[in-house]
Amino acid sequence: MAKTIAVSKDAYELLSKAKLPGESYSDVIRRCMRRSGRLMDIFGSRTLSKQDWEEAEALLKRAQVMTAERLKRPKNEAL
C-alpha cells in the first residue's frame, strides 16, 4: 500500500538528483537507506578524488576481465 509523505523542497531536489533512469523515488530512498557499500553510492560525495575513482574503476574492470578469463579455462587446468 502506498503512503504519501511530505518532504522539503531541498530534500526533493536531492532525491531528484540521486534518481537513476527508470528508478522511482521509493527506489532512491531504499538504495540510499541500504548503504550497500557500492562504489557508485559514494561517487560525488568527495570521499574519493576523481583520480581515486578512476583508479578504482580501472581495477574493477581488470578484475572482471580476469574473472571472465578464469571462468573460460578448462576445470582441470592449473591456476
Confidence label for 6 from pLDDT (cuts 50, 70 and 90):
very high
Query: Residue 51: which residues within 8 A CB-CB, separation 6 or more?
Result: none
DSSP of 27-78, one letter per residue? HHHHHHHHT---HHHHTTTTSS-HHHHHHHHHHHHHHHHHHHHHHHS-TTS-
Which pTM does this prediction carry? 0.42
pLDDT in tens, 45-71: 656 677 777 888 888 899 898 888 888
